[in-house]
Amino acid sequence: MGLEAVVNEIREKGRKEVEAVRAETRAEVEEILRDAQVRAAEIKLSAEEEAGRVAARTTNQEVSAANLVVKRQVLNAQKTLLDQVYSASLAAVGDLPAEFQEKALTDLLKRAAKEIKKGVVHVNERDVPVVEAIISRQKTLSGYTVGAPVEIPGGVIVESTDGELQIDYSYGTFLDEVWESGLKDASDILFA
Protein backbone atom coordinates (compact mmCIF):
# COMPACT_ATOMS: atom_id res chain seq x y z
CA MET A 1 0.00 0.00 0.00
CA GLY A 2 1.25 3.28 -0.90
CA LEU A 3 1.37 6.43 1.06
CA GLU A 4 -1.44 7.83 -0.89
CA ALA A 5 -3.63 4.84 -0.02
CA VAL A 6 -2.80 5.23 3.67
CA VAL A 7 -3.63 8.94 3.47
CA ASN A 8 -6.90 8.13 1.69
CA GLU A 9 -7.71 5.50 4.26
CA ILE A 10 -6.99 7.96 7.11
CA ARG A 11 -9.03 10.60 5.33
CA GLU A 12 -11.89 8.18 4.87
CA LYS A 13 -11.68 7.09 8.47
CA GLY A 14 -11.56 10.79 9.60
CA ARG A 15 -14.49 11.63 7.37
CA LYS A 16 -16.50 8.75 8.83
CA GLU A 17 -15.60 9.85 12.36
CA VAL A 18 -16.52 13.47 11.56
CA GLU A 19 -19.86 12.30 10.17
CA ALA A 20 -20.44 10.09 13.20
CA VAL A 21 -19.61 13.03 15.51
CA ARG A 22 -21.86 15.30 13.43
CA ALA A 23 -24.69 12.75 13.55
CA GLU A 24 -24.22 12.32 17.29
CA THR A 25 -24.14 16.11 17.76
CA ARG A 26 -27.26 16.51 15.59
CA ALA A 27 -28.99 13.88 17.70
CA GLU A 28 -27.94 15.65 20.93
CA VAL A 29 -29.02 19.04 19.54
CA GLU A 30 -32.39 17.59 18.49
CA GLU A 31 -32.82 16.03 21.93
CA ILE A 32 -31.87 19.32 23.63
CA LEU A 33 -34.34 21.17 21.37
CA ARG A 34 -37.10 18.64 22.13
CA ASP A 35 -36.41 18.98 25.86
CA ALA A 36 -36.40 22.77 25.52
CA GLN A 37 -39.71 22.67 23.62
CA VAL A 38 -41.25 20.42 26.29
CA ARG A 39 -39.95 22.71 29.04
CA ALA A 40 -41.18 25.78 27.14
CA ALA A 41 -44.60 24.18 26.76
CA GLU A 42 -44.67 23.42 30.51
CA ILE A 43 -43.63 26.98 31.34
CA LYS A 44 -46.23 28.36 28.94
CA LEU A 45 -48.96 26.14 30.46
CA SER A 46 -47.90 27.12 33.99
CA ALA A 47 -47.89 30.81 33.03
CA GLU A 48 -51.33 30.50 31.43
CA GLU A 49 -52.69 28.76 34.54
CA GLU A 50 -51.19 31.44 36.81
CA ALA A 51 -52.57 34.17 34.55
CA GLY A 52 -55.97 32.48 34.75
CA ARG A 53 -55.78 32.37 38.56
CA VAL A 54 -54.70 36.00 38.75
CA ALA A 55 -57.47 37.03 36.35
CA ALA A 56 -60.07 35.06 38.34
CA ARG A 57 -58.85 36.53 41.63
CA THR A 58 -58.84 40.05 40.18
CA THR A 59 -62.33 39.54 38.74
CA ASN A 60 -63.59 38.23 42.10
CA GLN A 61 -62.05 41.19 43.91
CA GLU A 62 -63.57 43.66 41.46
CA VAL A 63 -66.99 41.98 41.69
CA SER A 64 -66.78 41.99 45.50
CA ALA A 65 -65.79 45.66 45.53
CA ALA A 66 -68.63 46.52 43.14
CA ASN A 67 -71.10 44.55 45.27
CA LEU A 68 -69.88 46.40 48.35
CA VAL A 69 -70.34 49.77 46.65
CA VAL A 70 -73.84 48.80 45.53
CA LYS A 71 -74.73 47.50 49.00
CA ARG A 72 -73.44 50.73 50.58
CA GLN A 73 -75.51 52.79 48.13
CA VAL A 74 -78.61 50.68 48.85
CA LEU A 75 -78.08 51.05 52.61
CA ASN A 76 -77.60 54.81 52.24
CA ALA A 77 -80.79 55.03 50.17
CA GLN A 78 -82.64 52.95 52.76
CA LYS A 79 -81.33 55.16 55.58
CA THR A 80 -82.42 58.26 53.69
CA LEU A 81 -85.86 56.75 53.17
CA LEU A 82 -86.11 55.73 56.84
CA ASP A 83 -85.08 59.25 57.88
CA GLN A 84 -87.81 60.65 55.64
CA VAL A 85 -90.35 58.24 57.13
CA TYR A 86 -89.25 59.26 60.63
CA SER A 87 -89.57 62.97 59.82
CA ALA A 88 -92.94 62.45 58.14
CA SER A 89 -94.17 60.44 61.15
CA LEU A 90 -93.10 63.14 63.55
CA ALA A 91 -94.75 65.83 61.43
CA ALA A 92 -97.93 63.76 61.10
CA VAL A 93 -98.20 63.29 64.87
CA GLY A 94 -97.71 67.03 65.39
CA ASP A 95 -100.41 67.80 62.82
CA LEU A 96 -103.12 65.65 64.39
CA PRO A 97 -106.47 67.40 65.06
CA ALA A 98 -106.81 69.83 67.97
CA GLU A 99 -109.17 67.48 69.87
CA PHE A 100 -106.56 64.73 69.78
CA GLN A 101 -103.80 67.13 70.85
CA GLU A 102 -105.87 68.37 73.81
CA LYS A 103 -106.69 64.83 74.98
CA ALA A 104 -103.09 63.69 74.53
CA LEU A 105 -101.71 66.70 76.40
CA THR A 106 -104.23 66.17 79.23
CA ASP A 107 -103.24 62.52 79.56
CA LEU A 108 -99.53 63.36 79.47
CA LEU A 109 -99.91 66.07 82.12
CA LYS A 110 -101.89 63.71 84.40
CA ARG A 111 -99.19 61.10 83.96
CA ALA A 112 -96.46 63.63 84.78
CA ALA A 113 -98.40 64.85 87.85
CA LYS A 114 -98.01 61.39 89.40
CA GLU A 115 -94.24 61.92 89.47
CA ILE A 116 -93.90 65.70 89.81
CA LYS A 117 -96.51 67.47 91.94
CA LYS A 118 -95.33 71.03 91.27
CA GLY A 119 -93.46 72.14 88.23
CA VAL A 120 -93.12 74.06 85.00
CA VAL A 121 -94.63 72.69 81.80
CA HIS A 122 -92.87 73.36 78.50
CA VAL A 123 -94.66 72.78 75.20
CA ASN A 124 -94.33 74.07 71.67
CA GLU A 125 -95.69 77.53 71.00
CA ARG A 126 -98.82 76.22 69.28
CA ASP A 127 -99.86 74.24 72.39
CA VAL A 128 -99.29 76.95 75.05
CA PRO A 129 -102.95 78.15 75.09
CA VAL A 130 -104.24 74.56 75.18
CA VAL A 131 -101.98 73.63 78.12
CA GLU A 132 -102.93 76.82 80.00
CA ALA A 133 -106.61 75.84 79.60
CA ILE A 134 -105.96 72.25 80.72
CA ILE A 135 -104.02 73.39 83.82
CA SER A 136 -106.77 75.86 84.77
CA ARG A 137 -109.49 73.15 84.43
CA GLN A 138 -107.72 70.26 86.19
CA LYS A 139 -107.44 70.47 89.99
CA THR A 140 -104.65 67.82 90.00
CA LEU A 141 -102.53 70.15 87.87
CA SER A 142 -102.87 73.22 90.09
CA GLY A 143 -99.16 73.03 91.02
CA TYR A 144 -98.15 73.52 87.39
CA THR A 145 -97.31 76.67 85.46
CA VAL A 146 -96.58 77.07 81.78
CA GLY A 147 -92.96 77.89 81.00
CA ALA A 148 -91.28 79.21 77.90
CA PRO A 149 -92.16 77.40 74.66
CA VAL A 150 -89.69 74.81 73.38
CA GLU A 151 -88.97 73.43 69.92
CA ILE A 152 -90.76 70.08 70.03
CA PRO A 153 -93.35 68.72 67.58
CA GLY A 154 -95.83 68.07 70.39
CA GLY A 155 -96.19 66.61 73.86
CA VAL A 156 -94.88 68.07 77.10
CA ILE A 157 -91.68 68.45 79.05
CA VAL A 158 -92.29 68.90 82.78
CA GLU A 159 -89.60 70.20 85.10
CA SER A 160 -89.90 70.23 88.89
CA THR A 161 -89.90 73.66 90.48
CA ASP A 162 -86.52 72.97 92.11
CA GLY A 163 -85.12 71.95 88.69
CA GLU A 164 -83.84 68.59 89.93
CA LEU A 165 -86.23 66.41 87.94
CA GLN A 166 -87.39 66.64 84.35
CA ILE A 167 -89.79 64.36 82.52
CA ASP A 168 -89.75 64.37 78.74
CA TYR A 169 -93.11 63.29 77.35
CA SER A 170 -92.56 64.95 73.99
CA TYR A 171 -93.78 63.21 70.86
CA GLY A 172 -90.23 63.07 69.60
CA THR A 173 -89.14 61.06 72.66
CA PHE A 174 -92.03 58.63 72.27
CA LEU A 175 -91.36 58.26 68.55
CA ASP A 176 -87.65 57.66 69.26
CA GLU A 177 -88.55 54.82 71.64
CA VAL A 178 -90.97 53.27 69.17
CA TRP A 179 -88.56 53.85 66.30
CA GLU A 180 -85.65 52.15 68.08
CA SER A 181 -87.73 49.15 69.09
CA GLY A 182 -89.49 48.84 65.73
CA LEU A 183 -86.73 49.88 63.32
CA LYS A 184 -85.96 46.33 62.22
CA ASP A 185 -89.64 45.60 61.64
CA ALA A 186 -90.07 48.85 59.71
CA SER A 187 -86.98 48.09 57.65
CA ASP A 188 -88.23 44.57 56.91
CA ILE A 189 -91.62 45.94 55.81
CA LEU A 190 -90.13 48.66 53.63
CA PHE A 191 -87.27 46.72 52.08
CA ALA A 192 -88.29 43.04 52.13
- How confident is residue 3, by pLDDT bands cut at 50, 70 and 90? confident
* pLDDT given for residue 58 in this prediction: 92
For the chain, the structural domain boundaries read 1-95, 97-191
pLDDT tens digit string along 97-156?
Answer: 889 889 999 999 999 999 999 999 999 999 999 999 999 998 888 899 999 999 998 899
Residue (of 174, 172, 170) closest to 158 by Cα position: 170
Q: Classify residue 46 by burial, with Cβ atoms within 10 Å: 0-12, 13-18, 19+.
A: exposed
CATH of span 97-191: 3.30.2320.30
Long-range contacts of 1-7, Cβ-Cβ distance < 8 Å, separation of 24 or more: none
* pTM over cut 0.75: no
